[in-house]
Amino acid sequence: MYDDILVPTDGSEAVDRALDHAIRLASDHDATVHALYVVDRRIATANSGDLHDEIVADLESQGDAAVAAVADRAADAGLDVETHVASGTPDTEIVAYADDHGIDVIVMSPEGKSPRERIQSLGSVSDRVADDATVPVFLIK
């Protein structure tokens, strides 16, 4: 039923609960876990030059660490894992990744927020993903 399960990560503790569920689901279905971190380019847009480059590099580094943490836990459970760090608007990139990679279900926490959302209260990424995704979205509280 599920061959490919997407776990978007922002590196927060909220992802751990979603990952627990995703690992159980993937184990039950012998599915591949996809870990995705999206560098929110909107954060760096307001800055230019060296500061912009530093912010993007820092976010990419955080992304590498976040997907590696998901990959380590999934691999420890004996699952196949694919990791990807994308760049753009988080909800748009999550939905696009799901469409482009034949994802069967997205498992995420509604509690994590992108750094920009924490600053500006823009609403949650998970709400927009649930609204726009063409596959089921499990929101794990």
* Ramachandran category for residue 49: left, alpha or beta (phi over 0 → left; psi -120 to 50 → alpha): left
pLDDT recorded at residue 121: 41
Per the structure, the complete domain to which residue 83 belongs is given by 4-139
Please count the structural domains in the chain: 1
pLDDT recorded at residue 52: 76
CA-CA-CA-CA dihedral for 54, 63, 65, 120, to nearest 10: 80
- List of residues 6+ apart from 76 with CB closer than 8 A: none
pLDDT recorded at residue 30: 97
- Helix ranges (H only) for the chain are 14-29, 41-45, 49-76, 90-100, 115-120, 125-132
Distances (CA, A) of 88 to 44, 46, 59, 97, 114: 11, 14, 12, 12, 12
Q: For residue 99, report the phi and psi dihedrals to the nearest 5 degrees.
A: -65, -45
User: Do the Cβ atoms of 125 and 12 come closer than 8 Å?
Assistant: no
> What order of strands is seen across the sheet that includes strand 4-8?
81-88, 32-40, 4-8, 105-108, 137-139
Please give the Cα distance from 16 to 53 (Å, whole number). Answer: 29
pLDDT recorded at residue 106: 98
The pLDDT tens digits along the chain (141 residues) read 899 999 999 998 889 999 999 999 999 999 999 999 999 888 766 666 677 788 888 999 999 999 999 999 999 999 999 999 999 999 999 999 999 999 999 999 887 554 544 444 445 889 999 999 999 999 998
